[in-house]
Structure 1
Amino acid sequence: MNIETIWAQYQTSLKAFLHKNINNPDDVDDLLQEILIKTYRSLNTVKDVTKIKPWLFQIAQRSIIDFYRVQNKNLPPENEELWHEQPNQHLYDQLAECVLPFINALDEDDKQLLNAIEIEGVSQKDYAEQHGIKYSTLKSRVKKSRNTLHAAFKQCCDFEMDTKGNLMDYHKKYKECKPQ
């Protein structure tokens, strides 16, 4: 497939998509031109011709995000999720190594509860049934245990969160962090 055929087939729908997300027609035309250039430069990377349409619209979506970033405007609400597509897995992996020692340093009830629910993946309802505890009582205990664990972590590290509560970064307060 060549660029002329692809552009003839998808230009109209791409332009309509851009108009839904950008108010100024001149900006839409500029973005459409950018998309054409990006398509021309990268068309050889598409191995499966049946994936051309989603690939083009992905380029368009990213171009819209870049446009708003450059314009220093807020993204439309339906695109807001794209800013946080993937959590920072590296941070989670690093902190995962710390979780067990901190859980194991808690009192026996909290330790048993969090190991079962957070580490072993037992549902709260199942745990409540297995231990003869009211579900609402267990939910309160889980929240209390999580808060205790969080407080232990906060003694060791400072956490940076985004506006949605996702972990962005952390910094150890001491060279050697150990549960107390």
Structure 2
Amino acid sequence: MSVPCLRAALAAHEGELRGFLRHRLGRPEDADDLLQEVFIKALRQDRRFCAIENPRAWLFQVARNALADHLRCARKYIALPDDVPAPTEEAHPVVDDLSQCLPRVLSELSAADRLAITFCDIEGRTQQELADHLGIGLPGAKSRIQRARRRLRARLVTACQVSFDARGEVCCFVPRPPLAE
């Protein structure tokens, strides 16, 4: 270690840093290991360490970060019993079936609401494109699509008797056939 300011800072704060780490870890050997990591990071700074305005604060910040990493890696995990089923990637059949009801409910909305929902949600175009298409500003288009979505949701709840679970996801509904043409 050839940088005097680094040597002086490490000597001045070693005891305080060791106490800080031991108090939080409980095991002196773990604290000493982390202290060595802090010193190595300081040594890697070489001459740049002398430019640090508050070496004590820098050393403690590095020690806190090393401590957080150590505690994160040392978390204890509880093994799950073998009889717990693995999660599956299922489509939401209820939501997929709900598409039977959507054409009829869409046809019952106003032309402006139907355009906004079809344009952005069904065709996948952006709200900016909707604004350009309608000749209005982006905030107006955003408001329009949000109001149309609220009215669509209300119609789905009323017309198709859509129900939502505690998480707000569709859990069930009563299908309505499309209007005869």
Q: State the structure with more CA Rg.
A: 2
Q: Which has the higher helix share?
A: 1
TM-score (ref. length: structure 2): 0.48
Give the TM-score of the pair, scaled to structure 1.
Answer: 0.48
